[in-house]
Structure 1
Amino acid sequence: MLSMPSPDNPVRISILVAARNEEQNIERCLRSLDLLDFPKEQLEIIIGDDDSEDNTAWITQQFSAGKPEFKYVKITSRISGLKGKANVLAQLAHIARGEYFFYCDADIEVQPGWASQMLSHFKQKTGVVVGVTRMKKNRHLLADMLSMEWLFALTAMRFFSHFKIPITGMGNNMAVTREAYFKIGGYEKIGFSIVEDYALFMGIVRGGFDFEMAYKTEVISISEPVNTFPELLRQRKRWMHGVMESYWVTRLSLFVSSLIVPILFLLSIWFPINPVSSIVQYYVLVTAISLTAVVLLKQPDLWKAALLFWFYMVSIGLIMLVNYYLPSRTVWKGREY
């Protein structure tokens, strides 16, 4: 059962936003948060500026002026060996007063009903709720493929959630209870991870709390896509750390989907299978799941991407594996990890 805010502390939801060098995106994010259909007196929005080197601070402070629910915090120190986004969110958690911590990236645009719809998924033992994200519409083919990738993965996560199999969290659209966060010791106890959302999600699940997926149109958040292939490689280098630390089902599915074509041809040497027929069947399966996601989440603009997604998935999976194992540093937001 959801608890109500006390008269001494009316804040029910604290939205925590970590921002670094987001002058191109931060105002769009703040405007969407300002339009949330949720009582202002029960809401606080805390933006942690991770020592940005651009106009992120000025834009945030100008927008927040006269809006008491918005709070700007400059983050210049590190705690408990943390760095990057994990360090920012750890510090914001100690400032936040809400019973629930909602996470949203600085390049995300949320829907007006996001907060209330996510909140409705918390039950008595729920510690974490994961939402749905896609890219902006009508940008370019890569953006559509990235959107389809999110929806495909989240549909798979939704399937496994019915069997209580945890896959991963999603730092751009996720919410946790204050109780769960501090019971597991927060990011200070979890320790540094470049994929802090996965680390927090799994920490809460391993701490004995249930998880839920808010698999519905009303909670879909809109992200800014990467626009170039080098940007995509840098992003995926970071993501692969999360995949390799995740549940075995996730790791296995990545290897199988990435290497499915050579695997089937090799198997055909020893077993009586037709590799071409098997590849066609795999294409049909992936496309069926993709189209199901498009229909269930009401994203009709992605139907063409759904038909092409198998080719993208096989290609990007192999590229991610090669890129991950190449001896290079992970660079994100101008910092090396």
Structure 2
Amino acid sequence: MPEKDNIIQISILLAARNEEHNIERCLRSLDALNFPKESIEIIIGDDDSDDHTADIILDYIQRKQQFKYVKITEQLAGLKGKANVLAQLAHHATGKYFFFVDADIAVPTTWLTHMLLHFGQNTGVVVGLTRMKKSHLLADFLSMEWLYALSVTRLASFFQVPITGMGNNMAVTREAYFAIGGYEKIGFSIVEDYTLFMSIVRKGYRFAQAYNPQILNISEPVNTFAELLKQRKRWMQGVMQSFWVTKWSLIISSQLVPFLLILAYWYPAISLLMIGLHYALTTVTALIAITILKQKDLWKAAILFWFYVTGMGGIMLINYILPGQMEWKGRKY
């Protein structure tokens, strides 16, 4: 519960650019949070949107004192995009904790309370969970992919092995954020959530991976394979900058099945056995994850997940290697 000597305990920082189709859904979920409204502030940074994002925000937040709208027109030295927005919002924030969420996210009412439970002594950052809104098969596979990866991250967190942050569901202490100098000190990155997470960990703070349905955010999914490739090209930048265990685990796992298929030419029985075991391990892990997190609507995606992830691993590597600029929110990087 909020501390009596601190009126604002939590600052929710939300960067938005051209989100007219998503922003009201996000704002409604934040307005419904089961937390004293006088103890939170929700600061929305409009990153120079050229659609109706600003109009929707301003109309919704009328007479809602916990919401604050900030028009971002200035670009801080060395920063651009979302990192530039969040850097400026942090200086408007007064809370003890900074919570990060994206404009295409709907949060559960229990989000703040259950994330706060994971802040122990010297914990600087807590990473939450996210899945896609149920809408089509690709969305289910993406949900399964996120929950599978976050389950691995959860396991690694028991040994304080840092893997990644997640900008659509992450919280940091004010102390840790400013101890590293904020985004101004970190500098620009297309994967600003990962760089913030790693900077806090490298400063000596502990981290935690929250793992329960009460902190599970629901994202709008990408709807086409072309959109997915754009998203993954950006994500791979973070993977290739990440802890060596993460980077090489992805590279090796993405090439394992192709290697076994080639090996089958000489050793068919052994190769097929190993592929079968790989399928079983992946599928059992996926089923355990959706059971623990009470997302049983994903059982079909869990059974077929091995086929999806086996193909996507190689596609992501090839997509990353291919030349070309990254495009995100109408901007090229």
TM-score (norm 1): 0.96
2:133 is aligned with what amino acid? K
**CA distance in structure 2 between the partners assigned to 1:301 and 1:272 by the alignment:** 36
1:5 to partner: Cα distance: 5.4
Tell me which of 106, 126, 130 is aligned to 1:129: 126
Q: Who is 2:94 aligned against?
A: 97
Matches within 5 A, 1:13-162: 13-137=10-134, 139-162=135-158
**CA distance in structure 2 between the partners assigned to 1:270 and 1:183 by the alignment:** 56
Q: Is the 1:36–1:113 contact (alpha carbons within 8 Å) kept by the matching residues of 2?
A: yes
1:253 to partner: Cα distance: 2.0
1:312 is aligned with what amino acid? Y
CA RMSD of aligned residues (A): 1.5
**CA distance in structure 1 between the partners assigned to 2:113 and 2:252 by the alignment:** 38
Q: Who is 2:215 aligned against?
A: 219
- Say how many residue pairs are matched: 333
Structure 1 stretches lacking a partner, 5+ long = none
Matches within 5 A, 1:230-245: 230-245=226-241
**CA distance in structure 1 between the partners assigned to 2:93 and 2:319 by the alignment:** 38
Do residues 284 (structure 1) and 280 (structure 2) align? yes
Q: Is the 1:329–1:336 contact (alpha carbons within 8 Å) kept by the matching residues of 2?
A: yes
Q: Is the 1:5–1:12 contact (alpha carbons within 8 Å) kept by the matching residues of 2?
A: no
Percent identity (aligned): 64
**CA distance in structure 1 between the partners assigned to 2:39 and 2:16 by the alignment:** 23
1:277 to partner: Cα distance: 1.1
2:3 is aligned with what amino acid? M
Match of 1:311, SS state, is helix
Tell me which of 258, 262, 265 is aligned to 1:262: 258
Match of 1:16, SS state, is strand
Q: Is the 2:264–2:272 contact (alpha carbons within 8 Å) kept by the matching residues of 1?
A: no
1:31 is aligned with what amino acid? R
2:259 is aligned with what amino acid? I
Q: Who is 2:317 aligned against?
A: 321
Matches within 5 A, 1:204-215: 204-215=200-211
Q: Who is 2:245 aligned against?
A: 249
Q: Is the 1:257–1:313 contact (alpha carbons within 8 Å) kept by the matching residues of 2?
A: no
Matches within 5 A, 1:292-311: 292-311=288-307
Match of 1:307, SS state, is helix
1:317 is aligned with what amino acid? G
1:46 to partner: Cα distance: 0.3
Q: Who is 2:331 aligned against?
A: 335
TM-score (norm 2): 0.97
**CA distance in structure 2 between the partners assigned to 1:178 and 1:39 by the alignment:** 19
**CA distance in structure 1 between the partners assigned to 2:158 and 2:266 by the alignment:** 36
Q: Who is 2:179 aligned against?
A: 183
Tell me which of 262, 270, 273 is aligned to 1:274: 270
**CA distance in structure 1 between the partners assigned to 2:325 and 2:279 by the alignment:** 34
Match of 2:102, SS state, is coil
2:167 is aligned with what amino acid? G
1:251 to partner: Cα distance: 1.2
Match of 2:91, SS state, is helix
Match of 1:274, SS state, is helix
Match of 1:46, SS state, is strand
1:256 to partner: Cα distance: 2.0
1:63 is aligned with what amino acid? Y
1:185 to partner: Cα distance: 0.4
Q: Who is 1:4 aligned against?
A: 3
Do residues 170 (structure 1) and 166 (structure 2) align? yes
Q: Is the 2:47–2:71 contact (alpha carbons within 8 Å) kept by the matching residues of 1?
A: yes
**CA distance in structure 2 between the partners assigned to 1:124 and 1:292 by the alignment:** 30
**CA distance in structure 2 between the partners assigned to 1:120 and 1:258 by the alignment:** 35
